[in-house]
Amino acid sequence: MNHIVCVKWGNKFLPEYVNVLKSMCERHTTVPFQFHCFTENPNGLNPDINIIPLPNDPARIKTWWSKLYMFSPDVKLEGTILFFDLDVVIFKNIDELFTFNKDKFMIIHDFNRCRVKDWKQSNSSVLRWQGGTMNYIWKEYSNDPKKVTSRNHGDQDWIMKVAQKDINWWPEDWIRSYKWEMQGRKDTKLRKGTKHIFQSPPTIHEQNKVAVFHGEPKPFNCGDQFVIDNWK
């Protein structure tokens, strides 16, 4: 069984982001899959989305740390699990994301790779693993979440630290940073709410399948044609 999952916690992302993600996945894969959303509030989500409730556990389930619950042994998904953050745009076929390095834990080589020489960190915007194989990520976090969150900037830093022996990076051309790699902007502070932030079209490599919109802009306020054509 193949699964595509996402996490929606709090109010940062509207339900539209989950519904659009499911639609993009359906358009860009031939692989049969079930779509699941981990959330504490399913209001506004399409009825054909399977809801996996996030526990009411403020010490552990909060902000981006909520993503770690996907690795809980209480989650009974079997087979291949492919995770996407909600601020991605899928614009080419993603079948290979299910099969590349089959059975390995896959994560992005963090996008600072284009800004810092020999960068060794990971980015958790697109993950893949086999159900039940990475439970230790949640277990070790859950044992002392206060300690983990005080010593790590976010979930991906913790994953990099605790799961280093299992980490395999996706091919860099497949999943790219929209602003740093596709647009070539190395700054991190961009004006919010502007539809056309960049003057030139993005550079889309032949193997590029997914664009990650970390920071600003987000897909809904990006005017590039490939986003308009796919984020719907």
What pLDDT, in 10s, does the model give residues 175-199?
999 988 888 766 545 555 555 556 6
Inside any domain, residue 227: no
pLDDT above 60: residue 29: yes
Domain membership of residue 158 (yes or no) is yes
Domain assignment present for 43: yes
State the pTM of this model.
0.92
Tell which residue, 149, 146, 208, has the closest CA to residue 182.
Answer: 208
Report the phi/psi class of residue 177: left, alpha or beta, with left for phi > 0 and alpha for psi in -120 to 50. Answer: beta
What is the spatial distance between Cα 127 and Cα 149, in angstroms, rounded to a whole number?
A: 20
130 inside domain: yes
Q: Is residue 115 part of a domain?
A: yes
189-193, 201-205, 222-226: segment of lowest average pLDDT: 189-193
Say which CATH number the domain at 32 has.
Answer: 3.90.550.10
pLDDT tens, position by position, 66-116: 999 999 999 999 999 999 999 999 999 999 999 999 999 999 998 766 666
Domain membership of residue 106 as a residue range: 2-171
On whether the CB atoms of residues 37 and 45 are closer than 8 A, the answer is yes
The Cα–Cα gap between 29 and 222 comes to 24
Residue 63's pLDDT is what? 84
| Cβ count near 71 (within 10 Å) | 24
Count structural domains, the chain: 1
Q: Please tell me the predicted confidence (pLDDT) of residue 181.
A: 86
Q: Is residue 229 part of a domain?
A: no
184 occurs within a structural domain: no
Q: Kindly state whether residue 221 falls inside one of the protein's structural domains.
A: no
Q: What is the largest CA-CA distance in the chain?
A: 48
Res 232 pLDDT > 70: yes
Within 10 angstroms of residue 154's Cβ, the number of other Cβ atoms is 14
Indicate the pLDDT class of residue 223, thresholds 50, 70 and 90.
confident
